[in-house]
Amino acid sequence: MTVVNYAYAAMVVLTGNIEASKKAVITVDSCLQRVFYAAVTAGAIMLSIVLLINSFRV
């Protein structure tokens, strides 16, 4: 079993910087695509879990 943890792209979105947000989302998507195709080629199973947690201080 291999476990990979990608940076949380939504953290960049929270900065309000649209260009940086686009780049972050595209980068994570590209990385996940590469892992997916490698898993399919190897005959492996890929499980992707997305954890979305927003914590705000009031």
Closest CA to 53 of 7, 21, 20, 8: 8
Q: What's residue 58's pLDDT? A: 46
Q: What's residue 55's pLDDT? A: 54
Per-residue confidence of the chain (58 residues) as pLDDT tens digits?
A: 888 887 777 788 888 888 998 898 889 889 889 999 999 999 999 888 776 665 555 4
Closest CA to 10 of 51, 41, 57: 51
Q: What's residue 21's pLDDT? A: 86
Q: What's residue 39's pLDDT? A: 92
d(CA 45, CA 58): 42
Residue 46: burial class (beta carbons within 10 Å; 0-12, 13-18, 19+) = middle
